[in-house]
Structure 1
Amino acid sequence: MTEPLPFAARLTRAPIPFDEQAGTDAARAFLDLGTELQPLIAGAAGCSPYLNTLLTREGDWLRHALSGAPETAAAQVLASLAPLPPDRLGPALRQAKRRIALLTALADLGGVWPLEEVTGWLTRLSDRAVDLSMQVLVSEEIRRGKLPGQGPDDAATAAGMVSIAMGKTGAGELNYSSDIDLICLFDDARYGAEAVEARAAFIRVTRRMTALLSDQTGEGYVFRTDLRLRPDASVTPVCLSMSAAYAYYEAEGRTWERAAYIKARPCGGDIAAGERFLAALTPFVWRKHLDFAAIQDAHDMRLRIREHRHLHGPLKVEGHNIKLGQGGIREIEFFTQTRQLIAGGRDPSLRDRTTVGGLAALAAAGWVPVDVADDLTALYRAHREVEHRLQMVQDARTHEMPSTAEGVARIAAFCGQDETAFRAGFLDRLARTDRLTEGFFAPSEAEEGPELSETARAIVQGWGSYPALRSDRAQGIFRRLRPAFLKRLSRAANPDEALMALDGFLKGLPAGVQVFSLFQANPALIDLIVDIAGTAPELAAYLSRNSSVLDAVIGGSFFAPWPGKAALVKELADRLEAVPDYERKLDAARRWMKEWHFRVGVHHLRGLIDGFESAKEYADLAEAVIAGLWPVVGADFARKHGPAPGRGAVVLGMGSLGAARLNAASDLDLIVIYDAEGVEQSEGPRPLAARPYFARLTQAFVTALTAPMAEGRLYEVDMRLRPSGRQGPVATSLASFTAYQETEAWTWEHLALTRARVLAGEATLAADVEAVRRRVIQAKGQGAGVRADVAAMRARLAEAKPAKGAWEAKNGPGRLLDIELLAQMAALQSGSAARGVETQLASGVKGAILSVSDQTALMEAYRLLWQLQAGARLLTDRPLELERLGEGGRAFLLRETGEADAAALSARLDRAVAEAGAVISARVGGEDGETGDEG
């Protein structure tokens, strides 16, 4: 391997000293280095007070560093760093930062290193600083006995803690004065029941690490550290467990977080654990289908950034933000990352962390023209050089050009140019960047419309009489939109039916200018309306009857991130509080629920979320309705019969609701449990004994959910999972519930209990019910007859609920109910409190009830079947027949499942069902009820 040339032999350029005297004085101090280096030293010191200070402070070290290859000098700086006590490590890291900062600046200014080397060495220092800080601080926690089960040797991998580098840190692209973006996690599987104690220690480590790296001392600072990219940063601790982080991303992760994880990599601590975590997040970041919805998200984010930072207006040099402004660095990054998100799920070659590497990969795969990728790469490098010069002046975290002509002249000199040439080149690069990237995000022109059938022509001719199309302005806008609407409608499975659904939507609009302007600015919304009309009959019918639901779209909130259950509960409570009448409250709840339900369906249909995300959102919505209506019903009931005796009652969600995974057509499995605490009857205008009080309260609640009113019904409710089923009382006392579960309940009822979850009601009673649930699961899963009971139940289910056709996802051997049954058995036998299929199967592996290969086969089948089931229930209320869905429905299901065509999906479905069925038969027993081998 050829030795790299010395620093001086590789010089290709130098800045022009802006402050000539400062430059001359600095160069004179380094006369011993030879004449080749004098222009570089003078230019650096004459343009940057910060570098001038470093030249003075680190002059002796620099003389040695510049005598050879800069790579050798930089590597020696990093190699000299070792674990030291915090009071000594801080100064050592700050000295290393000064030296790497000085060396990289000179190598950058002199053209010795390209951009990737400059940012690469800054990133290597960041990695080393983070890793050493974690080792040292975790070692102290181990020494103090604060990390259960860990010894001194575990400090080398931070005892299971890892820092995930995000943004430019993750990509190895740190700018000269950059923050480092970190997400700090720990492997809670390593600690089991002692994870809570470990978490407290890792939170301390994270806080101390941040101070060690970020605090400004007389020695300077190492890196400002930013932890705000972690999940739900406003409410979560600075270090999270990996399971908590994974659960967040699976349930609530947003498009911007997916984009952020393109660049993520472990940079310190337990690197292997970090790699496992990122591998588990792959389905979240990289969607299997072509995710064109990311374009709209990126476009919206660009506009929000510009609006927030007031970055509008004509291009000019003074004050322009080279990172966030028009034609800046972020435009190129968004262009690259958005295209990576669109296609990277199917093509792993596109998953490059770096911007330059990402552009090259996109060009190689044909997603970006080669000349465009080359131009953007050159522009990106030029922008980053200007960014570095801005930051080198005073080591300031800035991206804005100076606001004065004098300040611009300094940056021009720093770039080795006269001011006039610099200004012209700067503006030209911004304009070229804007031209190359803006077309990707800007709305496209409308296409010519198709020839219309006689029926379609008659419908279209009637549009001119609708309120939304009476104004000249509305007609003018819609005239440009109509060809796009009609062309897209012509591709629907049944164009005439889709057109009628669109006709109903237009007829119901009170005004059109605002909506049509929205469509014009966001052509993707045309596809949204047409997709609804041509693919999902239930959603289309709702839209034609409730066009006002698009108020949220007009207001911009329709495509906002999912707010989460807590926000939904508050919103519904506020909505109901504003309505005085009980019946009107129930109607208001219906309108509210249907708007959100519609939104979830549309997001799913459009690919903004997948079947698992929609399942969580439908469950959040149902829980919010239950939590919102339970006190409303209780207050109305108490007005007649007095407050509830004792502690009142709680509502348990069972089945899919308890597991927080619903589809578009799910009903709700509920149980009500009360505790009158010995109080015999209520006190009110019409007092009731405790048992009938809670029975009638439960009936009132079920009526509130199920009664058809002007706005329809909320949900169908099934209460057959209560003790003794249909023969038992609709509300059960805590004592009776406990006794029944401990002495009378069948195995299938204990299985159902594994998914039970309190959704509303008195807090202490909720805690007691959960304690009973856990105790019963622990006690009843150990019986010898559990597996035989499950095998018999499986056989009965196979006979009573056979698969309805080849595309059945729910019923039949190896399908959803079969897998869920095995998962519940695994949770019961292992005594696990887990409710979700994934976690229940994992508990089965942990308890040696299932093997890892069993789990893999079951999860592969389960995920495919759920995507199919969730998609099918959105499209139709009939048994799924793929060939009868039409083009739109088939395309949706193929996108959801990631398959190219129906034949491929059919083959995969058959294979997955067969493999899952074989596992279940081996672990539980066949349909004849004979159990398989243990273990």
Structure 2
Amino acid sequence: MIARGRQETTTGTLARQGFGDAGRARELLDSTGLADHPSILADLTAAADPDLALLGLTRLLESVAAPGELLAALDGESDLRARLTRVLGASRALGDHLTRHPEDWRELRGHDAARQPGAGEYRAGLLHAVGADPSGASVPVADLAGHPTARVATALHAAYRRRVLHLAARDLTGITELDDIAAELAGLAAAVLEGALALARAEDPAAARLCRLAVVGMGKCGAGELNYVSDVDVVFVAEPATADAGEQEALRAATRLATSMMRVISEPGSEGTLWEVDAALRPEGKNGPLVRTLASHVSYYERWAKTWEFQALLKARPIAGDADLGEQYLAQIAPMVWQAADRPNFVDDVQAMRRRVEAHIAPSEAERQLKLGRGGLRDIEFAVQLLQLVHGRSDDSVRSPATLTALAELSAGGYVGRADAGELAESYRFLRRLEHLVQLYRLRRTHLLPDPNTDEGRRDLRRMGRALGLRGDPAAELLAAWRRHTAEVRRLHEKLFYRPLLNAVARLPESEARLSPEQARSRLEALGFLDPAGALRHLEALTQGVSRSAAIRRTLLPVMLGWFADCPDPDAGLLGFRQVSEALDNTPWYLRLLRDDVRVAERMARLLGTSKYATELLLRAPDAVAMLADERDLAPRHRAELRTEAAAILHRHASAEGAVTALRSLRRRELLRTATADLLGLNDVTTVGTALTEITAVTVDAALRAAIAEVARTRDAPPPVRFCVVAMGRFGGGELSYASDADVLFVYTARAGTDAETAAASARAIAAELRRLLELPAADPPLVIDTALRPEGRNGPEVRTLSSYANYYTRWSALWESQALLRAWPVAGDSDLGAEFTNLIDPLRYPEDGVSESGIREIRKLKARMEAERLPRGADPALHTKLGPGGLSDVEWVVQLLQLRHAHRCPELRTTGTLRALEAARDAGLVEDEDADTLAAAWRLASRIRDAVTLVRGKAGDSIPTDVRARAALAQALGYLPAEDEGSASEQLLEDYRQHTRRARAVMERLFYDS
């Protein structure tokens, strides 16, 4: 009983010392005799994972030839003890390596174990591992008999792991700083590449004689800041070995060597896979040749390279192979890097790169991403690189490829505040340490924090926390520190690039980085501002002074400038913000709203920097900014609610002009609400069309009431007529766009006892007054009343009686007028008269016998003539959303022909909306599902593009712009984002539109012309 009690006490002590499975730990300590070595036990309990460290040491003692020697060394050498237990407690993979190569524990012993080797030592050591001489030029042929690559590559892999073991021991015991660890890992990777290239040369000596091959490191390897497990990015440069050697033959030989070298490193073996050699950053990426000559590289970068490729070249460095050729490459490429910010596509490419990074994050990983997530390593690297590209043009002191060195250089040059640089460097080191600890465990490439919601994830976090020296609740403390650092990184990322711009124009603390006006203009140009001098004036006006408003704007603008920079027109965005801010300067809620709700400021920046249409509306009613705070305030309002508000407006105003002016304010607010929701992606195109139609209908109805009242006032009697406005075209179809006219017909009937001439004069007066009121001068988007679809067109009377319509349609109506009446919908005025008009036209638009063959031929001829004659001169039909092939007209005419032919027997087709009628035709079996989907998709896209053209330009347009910049702005407003291998947003939009319209045109020709 006593013995048992002592064992339980010992087990409890082990548990308190950090062992997760104290019982198992006790068994291992007893079986190995480690229980009799208190100094070893003490170091085991200090390891990141004592259980893992004990298990690894047990396996090592079982594998080593002389366990007694190892135990004696551990007892007598505290440094060895600390290094070995720290490694075994943090890395299962290095524990496995020691089990395979137990004598490698000696790498952690003595003075050399604490010394950082030089790059030359790494290179010589790894070349020796593959039997090559120090030049890397040869490997003994005898060693290459049979299958040499697998055997010798295994020796290379084992030698690499041995050096990683040495390095990790110094890392985990705090002997070597993170900066040196990363640089050492890059040097080690370069040595492996040199060893693998030596193997490739020995395997193919003929190829080695034909060419010179340089390996240029890119990314973290080129910058000397590699992780424990990263893809090693490289670019290959080759030249003929002799003057008389053929270039193509040399390139083929170099390609064989490069391919073989990559295989040696990347293929798994008994030592596992080291890392992938990635050559995707070469010219043309994976589609380009693996190896190029120096001249070919230079030619590509001079003619075809995008800005992001020069951003990648910031970190280029020769690391293996022919050193002279590598230096020649760097000498010719480097000057182009520092001219990249002058390129016309600089901003677009930088923004595209940022979006690609964000797009690569899987939603399930976003909250645990150390590298790509918000506040992660890429935020720091991206900001530093962008600042380097901008300021490195004229300041060669900020051109270091390594992130931390470059950050220090930027701070020394005054481009980043000293305090900010210090905080950013601290966060960068912390995040890199987490990344290293995650990777060390299994020596696998990952950038994800363990999942704290799983048992395994919590154990991993505990191990990492202990490795960082956290002891209370290591997992919780690690997560808290990580969240603190990522929040700080995100804050500084947003501040780093933009805050010094304000310092150039505002009185801010001298401790902050301050740019000269010239430097500030340079940075604004890099952000995409076309008028940097004007932008500086706006910033000065917004931030000067000591008022509370100026102080809040100084806080907001660093972030908002970033949002403006992401917009198609940063200049307009900043100007609009200044104008709105000045208009609301004395409104206490405005800046408080922007400060306290970041969504409002972000949405405002997006509207102002994207849409001239929305900006003009907002400037007319700046207090409408308040609706940006809640998505519910951006939802379309129902017609009944709008009619109630319009009626209240009419009741409040004695004059017709005053009433309609107030009605315009109502319409302006609803247009802004619709445009805002549209630009923010909250409404689809049919919702937009419905919302625009509803507010137009309510405005026309209320204005008509005001017009009738005004006519009654001037004539001292109510008008002796019933009057109705019938919507036509897109208005009648409930499909208005932002720039659509209101196509209408005016219908009236005389009241009993009224002679025809008096009634006609009264009806003309009402129509004229309605036009006058709606066309009063104003800065709002106009509401144009168009009656061109009336009988006899512009040659006929604008106002007709119901009986006149009946007489005309009975005697003179053309088939095209029946087609136009398919969209007729009474929207204002006398509802009974509207119903009577509907009953009158139904037999015309839904003919009992359908359409005759001659009528169908007439419609087809009319369609062909319209395509030939109505397209604007000089317009590209393929880009015209209305009249071009597969555009709106094609879809609408197909649907309207189906209605004319079948609506009499198929009541579901009796609708004025294009998509509703198309859906009814599908349900009735008149259109195949696939054809209906094709037509609907093309119609929606064309409608969205027309709307977006108006939103971006502030005026109507039916064609996709041919100007690349204008088209890119349009694409961005539509939500198109650049994808990695699909070109720019502009090209994506064109490709999407052409694909949809091509398919729609094929369906249209089959259904319209062949049916």
Q: Which has the larger radius of gyration?
A: 2
TM-score where L is the length of structure 2: 0.46
Q: Which has the higher contact order (CA 8 A, sep 6+)?
A: 1
